[in-house]
Amino acid sequence: MLEALFFPSAHAAAARLLTLYEMGILARWRNPTSRAYRYVLDWRGQYLHAMRTDEKPPTKANAAFKAQQQFLSAHRPHTEGINAFYCRLMRAARTRGDVEIDWVFEPYSAYSGMRSDANVTLTWTDGRRLHFWFEHDRGTETLQRLADKVKSYKTHVEYHHYEKAVLLIEVPTPGRLVNFLPLATEICDESHLRNTRLSKLTVAASAATEAERTFTRPETFPDLLDDQRWHVLGRELPVSFNELPAIAEEIANRPIVWDWDPEVDP
């Protein structure tokens, strides 16, 4: 992931990471079943970060404990999946140069009680803008529970009267995507509604490729911004990131379907 985001090659990434590890800026850990190292800030790295953010620097013992917590956390695979999507998106934006990304990891709103995996805003140089919540699915929970998350977001948007909202979900395999879409579509189906305000929420889901899922061979990744991989609920054909701003605007401005003509028979 670090190679794709910051370095021109695997060799350059390995050399720089080794230097930072030897300097005590980074700590690293490798699962016996994996060849890849996981890197987090070691004591010197945490100390520098604290100075930069005007916080109290940690002791060596606290820094070591924090690093070990991150390495051994049960949530680490989920966090790595979120980070992988972030790196792929940033890599795609870097190679294009026509879009800026503002990303907040696991934002929590005390006002609404909602917590998403990430809160992201894409801004194109031509004026298009896409703000979305991101949910990363590892396939460890039932499809019904994943679909219930969509229902929770839909309720949240309706309760707080959002004028426009977008939820993007990435699942690990095409098979899981095929099974998930009908459940989520049923929850979001509003074709039967009359005389009421329709939801402003756009929901789209995609499946990661095998290389993306394992974050290997980044040179084989499809362009995350151009690839037509997002299946918008209620639409037949998948779309790309570049098309989502217009689609979200269209869904947010759907007219109310009346059982009568409100101008003739109010």
- In this structure, the answer to whether residues 224 and 142 fall within a common structural domain is yes
Q: Is residue 263 part of a domain?
A: no
The residue among 53, 73, 93 that closes a domain is: 73
Q: Which domain range does residue 50 map to?
A: 2-73
Q: Are residues 67 and 180 in the same domain?
A: no
Q: Which of 73, 102, 127 is the last residue of a domain?
A: 73
Q: Do 132 and 7 reside in the same domain of the chain?
A: no
> What tens digit of pLDDT does each residue of 157-212 get?
888 888 889 999 999 999 999 999 999 988 877 666 565 667 889 999 999 988 88
Q: Cβ(101)–Cβ(121) under 8 Å?
A: yes
pTM of the full structure:
0.83
pLDDT tens for each residue of 235-263:
889 999 999 999 999 999 887 665 655 55
Provide the Cα torsion 81, 155, 202, 101; round to 10°: -50
Phi, psi of 17 (to 5 degrees): -65, -35
Is position 94 within any domain?
yes
pLDDT at 111: 43
Asked whether residue 60 falls in the same domain as residue 84, the answer is no
Shared domain check, 204 and 136: yes
